[in-house]
Structure 1
Amino acid sequence: MEKIAMGNPGIRKALTIEQIFLKNKKERRLYELREKAVRDEISMIAGARAEGEAKGRAEGRAEGKVDAICTFLDARFGDASQGLQRKVRYINKLEALDKVIEKIYTAESLDDAEAIIDNKY
């Protein structure tokens, strides 16, 4: 390896700089701190990205549940359910939507459906 390094001026210069750098404790410490800061930033960005993706998936699930409820209301009760569908579109908690979905298919009337949606919590 040294033969290759000594034969290439660029590699030889880099090795010389590295040796000087390793002997200087202050410079080495500053370098290590910069590297740590870069790694911390990369980690923070990755964490934020993962959090954003998780939030996006949750919002997608909520949107799918809202669509399912509204499709059922429209198929079962037609245009008379438009007001109730608007009310459903304001529900953004997955737990509440889950409770509505569990019971909405048992609704025999629009009043039953409204009672189920109003008692979602």
Structure 2
Amino acid sequence: MRLSIKRVYAPPEEGDGFRVLIDRLWPRGLAKEKAGVDLWLRDIAPSTALRQWFGHDPARWETFRERYLEELRQGEAAAALETLRAEVAARPVLTLLYSAHDEAHNNAVALRDMLQGGG
């Protein structure tokens, strides 16, 4: 199984495999036909309050990761995480899609690391 991450604005590629959007909001200005999203898991995204607090500030990254992983253990986020884990187990290639500009500090990085055993 290969798990990767990619900005949703990048064109879909055959090597992406099953593509899962993990943002709460649909990416601004992107037509659904061009996105190539196979599954949209809104509930796996960080809460609005956490996302706004983080503001993609690298100085808040570690705290954001910890709080986000805690959110994933509760309520609808936990159910969405189980859905994602089932998809990961069922697919040879899965790509997590995100819309943030910062490629190193975003929920897809935190989620990928957790799914691969790093968090």
In which range does the TM-score fall when normalised by the shorter chain? under 0.3
Task: Work out which of the two has the higher radius of gyration on C-alpha atoms and give 1 or 2.
Answer: 1
Q: Which has the higher contact order (CA 8 A, sep 6+)?
A: 2
Give the number of the structure whose residues are more often helix, by fraction. Answer: 1
TM-score by length of 2: 0.25
